[in-house]
């Protein structure tokens, strides 16, 4: 009954990619897992996403990219989060991301990448395990 945090996550679509079905499916899965999900909608710049993530005080930011611009967009988001002093927000990615890019992204600060076909309950289980509401 006393203060108990609920997990807040953001699902964002950076860049020109116009395919949002995956993002919407994930958003629903997160809701069914008991999280509060803020969905930003399509065509967001990294700046807009980071501002929104800060205003919404989310614990995790999930970036969805199917148009191939992830090697620019994801690191740019991480860079901006650091600039704004919000590096405690866990960043994950999903979408069409080649294996060879995954390692690079992870060493750049993306905590995990979920490629197509990953079962939804695996994803939500990962989030529960690795993302805690901030202290």
Partner 1 sequence: MERVMNPTTEKIIAGDIRAVARLIRDIDDGMPGVREVLKELYPHTGKAYIIGITGAPGVGKSTLVDQMVWHLREQGKTVGVLAVDPTSPFSGGAILGDRVRMQRHSLDDGVFIRSLATRGHFGGITQSTRSAIDVLDAMGKDVVIVETVGVGQDEVDVVKSAHSTVIVVIPGMGDDIQAIKAGILEVGDIFVINKAEREGTDKTLSDLRLMIDMDQKKYEGGRWKPPILQTQAVFDKGVVDLLEEIENHKQYLKENAEGLLFRRKKEKVREELVDMVKQRLIEMVLERVIDSGVFDEAVDSVASGSIDPYSACDKLLQSGFEIKPGA
> Is residue 76 involved in binding partner 1 (CB under 8 A)?
no
Stretch that binds partner 1, among 67-75, 80-88, 89-97, 107-115 (CB under 8 A): 80-88
Among 14, 15, 44, 81, binds partner 1 (CB under 8 A): 44
Q: What is the DSSP secondary structure assignment for residue 113, as one 8-state letter? A: E
Residue 62: enclosing H or E segment and its boundaries?
A: strand 60-65
Q: How far is the CB of 30 from partner 1 (least distance, A)?
A: 7
Angle at which helices 120-130 and 21-32 cross, to 10°:
60
Q: CA 47, CA 14: separation in Å to the nearest integer?
A: 10
Q: CA 93, CA 2: separation in Å to the nearest integer?
A: 33
> Is residue 52 involved in binding partner 1 (CB under 8 A)?
yes
Q: Which is nearer to partner 1, 56 or 79 (CB)?
A: 56
Q: CA 81, CA 76: separation in Å to the nearest integer?
A: 9
> Is residue 34 involved in binding partner 1 (CB under 8 A)?
yes
Concatenate the DSSP letters of all residues of 14-38 into one string. Answer: BSS----HHHHHHHHHHHHTT-EEE
Q: How far is the CB of 71 from partner 1 (least distance, A)?
A: 24
Among 14, 22, 39, 93, binds partner 1 (CB under 8 A): 39
Interacting residues toward partner 1 by CB under 8 A: 1-6, 8, 27-28, 30-41, 44, 47-48, 51-52, 54-57, 84-86, 133
């Amino acid at each position: 009954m006393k203060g108990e945090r609920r997990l807040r996550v953001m699902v964002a679509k950076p860049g020109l990619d116009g395919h949002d079905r995956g993002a919407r499916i994930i958003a629903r899965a997160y809701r069914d897992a008991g999280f509060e999900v803020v969905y930003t909608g399509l065509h967001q710049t990294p700046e807009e996403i980071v501002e929104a993530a800060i205003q919404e005080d989310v614990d995790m930011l999930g970036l969805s990219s199917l148009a191939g611009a992830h090697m620019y967009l994801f690191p740019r988001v991480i860079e901006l989060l650091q600039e704004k002093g919000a590096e405690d927000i866990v960043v994950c990615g999903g979408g069409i991301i080649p294996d060879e890019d995954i390692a690079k992204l992870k060493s750049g600060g993306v905590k995990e990448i979920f490629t197509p076909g990953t079962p939804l309950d695996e994803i939500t289980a990962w989030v529960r395990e690795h993302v805690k509401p901030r202290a």
